[in-house]
Amino acid sequence: MEVWFTENQTPSVRLGLKVKSILHQAMTPYQELMVAETDAYGRMLVLDGAVQTTVMDEFVYHEMITHVPLMIHPHPQRMGIIGGGDGGAVREALKHPSVEQVHLVEIDAEVVRQAKRYFPEISVELDNPRTQVHCTDGIEWVRQARDLDVLVVDSTDPVGPAVGLFQPEFYQSVADCLGEEGVMVAQSESPFLEPEVIQMVVQGMRTVFPVVRLYLAAIPTYPSGFWSFTLGSKGPLPGPADLSRAKFATRYWTPAIHEAAFALPQFVEDLIR
């Protein structure tokens, strides 16, 4: 008998993945957490029915949400990651020798626990001495944080505890916690299926940051496979990446991709005009 996992991505679009086995399924205090072994994409983390990460395509998301802001900041040392309890963004951040400290702020301790258990290749740096894990609400944490160089919002969709991470008040707190050349990035969903989320994030960030840019990446298990990130910068402009700093291995991010990702199709330009 074949078993299929279905994600209702919108009321009229579904993603179907053939599942070999379900390894874990439980309610946490915040959400329903499932880990399954899929045929096509390997092990998969699902929260409230939405795919968060799969072993096969996670590198695209984690490299693009991390290396782009870290390469734009001239000398990133202190970084915060809101959400991201799987640890993929931490793993990428620690490839940068200048990064001395990464604060991972994940509201749901169970995500961190199950990531360590089922996704060792993704959560590999969570116990690194340069990583500090805080299991608390990122909105509150950002309010009292100061002097960060880069802040990454690696959140779930704007529902439940993540709603506040998409509001202008949150972007103001982020700007306040960043230093003079601070850079933030938030995952901002798909231009095909959630254009209104992109508009909300871009407009919200524009009320706070002098520089706001959208960039794109191909992530097959996310709705439509065509994903956006929104970057807000207090100073540095996204420009050509300094090759000499990129002395680490990546599978998606390259200096050429870094620049090309900011080239937007006309319909996306129109969306954020």
Residue 111 binds ligand SAM, judged by CB under 6 A: yes
Is 173 within 8 Å of 139 (Cβ atoms)?
Answer: yes
Q: How far apart are CA 241 and CA 255, in angstroms?
A: 5
Residue 83 binds ligand SAM, judged by CB under 6 A: yes
Pairing status of strand 32-38 against strand 42-47: antiparallel
Active-site annotation holder among 39, 154, 157, 176: 154
**Least gap, CB of 164 to ligand SAM (angstroms):** 6
Residue 155 binds ligand SAM, judged by CB under 6 A: yes
Select the residue interacting with ligand SAM from 69, 76, 80, 85 (CB under 6 A).
Answer: 85
Q: Is 154 a catalytic residue?
A: yes
Residue 156 binds ligand SAM, judged by CB under 6 A: yes
Q: How far apart are CA 209 and CA 12, in angstroms?
A: 35
Select the residue interacting with ligand SAM from 17, 162, 185, 198 (CB under 6 A).
Answer: 162
Q: Of 64, 66, 97, 100, whose CA–CA distance to 81 is shortest?
A: 66
- What length does the chain have? 273
Q: How far apart are CA 177 and CA 171, in angstroms?
A: 10
Select the residue interacting with ligand SAM from 69, 76, 80, 138 (CB under 6 A).
Answer: 138
Token reading at 108: 């749901």
Residue 149 binds ligand SAM, judged by CB under 6 A: no
Restricted to residues 231-260, the positions that interact with ligand SAM (CB under 6 A) are none
By beta-carbon proximity to ligand SAM, the closer residue of 137 and 259 is 137
Q: How far apart are CA 189 and CA 198, in angstroms?
A: 7
Select the residue interacting with ligand SAM from 94, 165, 212, 246 (CB under 6 A).
Answer: 165
270 by Cβ neighbours in 10 Å (0-12 / 13-18 / 19+) ranks as exposed
**Least gap, CB of 9 to ligand SAM (angstroms):** 11
Residues forming contacts to ligand SAM in the complex (CB under 6 A) are: 30, 47, 52-53, 61, 82-86, 105-108, 111, 137-139, 154-156, 161-162, 165, 187
